[in-house]
A and B are shown apart, each in its own frame.
Chain A
């Protein structure tokens, strides 16, 4: 590797550390209402509550969500060598939504503790189903994996709709709110619930980043380098599912982040794995901070952040697609 290349990488690393940090501070200081900096540390003022109990956990959860989605999307797109793959397409999110709905339907909304394990469990069941359905003549191909993912997503979406119709209207509302995805209710308890699994997933993918790189070269090349392609691929998918389920089970389904973050990252740094995967964490987190900042300040009432990520994500995706068309074809 030539010298200038390395310098550029150092610059990149600095950029990717400072970008989310800067956005994080901006996020905390901007809101619909002005809070004087002095009042923040005054225990009796509302500034204290707003910053430490409302904006801070929300910002942390937004970053965690973006980070998990960014790296899961990046790893899956690289491993399966398909720019359209995302954790959502493989059925992970539909599985999680179904799991949450099932728990709400059986145990009600009060049993917060049941909803999340159920969502994680069912997202793993969904990804297991996707993996087994895509096993064709003894091995997995990236096309069959995507197809199986679409089938599993459809299956769980159907089951979810069925639950919504069958149960009490009161619970239906909770399920709908859950599936749309929301950050405005996030408190420290939610952050605490999603952090352990999120870190496990992210660390797993980071540790695997060289193998992900090898997998991205194609099955034949990877095999010739001594990689057990199928086993490694399943491990990558497993860690990506853990990371996705950890945050989706808390804030619900917020679309486009997992698809768009890897593309933005690739646009900035290219797809060299030593920087692509860590950078996608930073880009995902930054994207979510910006989206949620818009969602809570742009209108007199809250706009679900999923709407903003879609409205921002779709045109951005189109732009990136036009720019990078030659790379994919």
Chain B
């Protein structure tokens, strides 16, 4: 009997100790934020374990210098050509699947005991569900909200959540300046003088990439309707022949290359093909990122208006990557590895008419 009482006392003391511990942790300050889906989320003041389910968020986390706090990532973050170069050890971070391919493992996330989860802003229901079942704050973010074309709010929000506000503001100001140099020129060009642009889906020549806001920002008439939801939609070659785009832009990290179009007999009567204006340069891998998005706009602007912009794209892009991720010559390396197109030099080559 004595033993039994002692045993119960022992159990009781463990329980009480547990409760006390919990009370202690609850005393921490909470930060209230509103994410990019307008959801109000409470985040604990000291975030130590982060799970990101959306490559755009992962890119921002690396830019803010909190890579050591990341404990779990979606499958696409772990294979992104930029992220694997910025942070080679990304392969050692546990893979939790991805909601995009239907392989997301909620159990795996629970096991990682995150303090906060970042996910994409296209699926707020998933965010609510995760938050409810795991009891962990889930924050929705995105680089290109509808109507706004591009937004750096994501930097501010994630910066607040992980306590890196000043670094976030620094990157935001830097990129906004870079972007403004382009948009201040392109926004004044009348629609009639803008080139017609066909942004190609990374995996299918006959599919428009709907998430191609960079084309509009760079002053192109985008054949894709960026206000449409979803990633892209199918077109026929007949449509393309009638639209007759002036420029065709392919995705930089995809296997499709300009030669696939330039050498195809059925594409020959399209203006962009006749003039050889088929470029492989869009940087994106399941979403964009602050650096990628700005570089895409600069790159496209240079293609559309070689006479109006006289910066050296490769140098500028390397500088932006250096500023955001602290890595030298990243654009040059990507350009060589993925054979990205050369952007026409500003003075020597004038558009043939």
Chain A positions within 8 Å of B, measured between CB atoms, are 31-33, 46, 49-50, 53-55, 108-110, 164-165, 168-170, 172-174, 177, 182, 184-185, 187, 296, 301-302, 304
Contact = CB atoms under 8 A, between A and B. Distances in A.
Contacts of B286: 169
Contacts of A31: 238
Given A165-B102, A174-B203, A46 B269 contact: yes
Contacts of A182: 234
B29 interface: no
B266 A304 contact: no
A178 to B, nearest CB: 11
A184 B235 CA distance: 8
A187 B265 CA distance: 10
Interface string B323-336: 00000000000000
Given A54-B237, A173-B203, A302-B234, A33 B101 contact: no
A173 B204 contact: yes
B238 A296 contact: yes
B1 to A, nearest CB: 58
Interface residues of B, number: 29
A187 B235 CA distance: 15
A304 B238 contact: no
B202 interface: yes
A174 to B, nearest CB: 6
18 contacts: A32-B238, A46-B241, A49-B269, A54-B238, A54-B241, A108-B255, A109-B255, A110-B255, A169-B76, A169-B100, A170-B254, A177-B204, A184-B206, A187-B266, A296-B238, A301-B234, A301-B235, A302-B234
Contacts of B103: 165
Interface string B162-202: 00000000000000000000000000000000000000001
A173 B100 CA distance: 12
B101 A301 contact: no
Nearest to A182: B234
B206 A172 contact: no
A302 B235 contact: yes
Interface of B: 75-76, 79, 100-103, 202-204, 206, 208, 233-239, 241-242, 244, 254-255, 265-266, 268-269, 286
B101 A172 contact: yes
Nearest to A171: B203
B57 to A, nearest CB: 18
Nearest to B285: A169
Contacts of A49: 241, 266, 268-269
Contacts of B255: 108-110, 170
Contacts of A187: 266
Given A173-B203, A187-B266, A54 B242 contact: no
B234 A53 contact: no
Which of B202, B233, B237, B265 has the most chain A CB within a 10 Å cutoff? Answer: B237
A296 B203 contact: no
A50 B239 contact: no
A172 B203 CA distance: 10
Contacts of B100: 169
The 10 closest A-B pairs by CB, nearest first: A302-B234, A173-B203, A184-B236, A46-B241, A53-B266, A301-B233, A33-B242, A46-B269, A54-B237, A49-B269
Nearest to A180: B234
Nearest to A47: B241
A54 to B, nearest CB: 5
A170 B256 CA distance: 11
A109 B257 CA distance: 13
A185 to B, nearest CB: 6
Nearest to A187: B266
A170 B236 CA distance: 21
Contact of B202 (A54, A165, A170, A172): A170
A298 B160 CA distance: 48
A301 B198 CA distance: 14
A168 B81 CA distance: 13
A174 B242 CA distance: 26
B234 A46 contact: no
A304 B79 CA distance: 31
A320 to B, nearest CB: 31
A169 B203 CA distance: 10
A317 to B, nearest CB: 26
Contacts of B204: 173-174, 177
Contacts of A53: 237, 265-266
Nearest to A302: B234
Contacts of A165: 101-103
Contacts of A109: 255
Nearest to B270: A46
B206 A46 contact: no
A326 B217 CA distance: 65
A46 B238 CA distance: 9
Given A46-B269, A165-B101, A173-B204, A55 B233 contact: no
Contact of B238 (A55, A110, A168, A170): A55
Given A53-B266, A108-B255, A165-B101, A185 B206 contact: yes
Contact of A54 (B203, B236, B254): B236
Contact of B236 (A110, A174, A296): A296
Contacts of A173: 203-204
Contact of B101 (A46, A169, A184, A304): A169
A74 B266 CA distance: 36
Nearest to A296: B236
A49 B274 CA distance: 14
Contacts of A304: 234
A165 B286 CA distance: 16
A157 B75 CA distance: 24
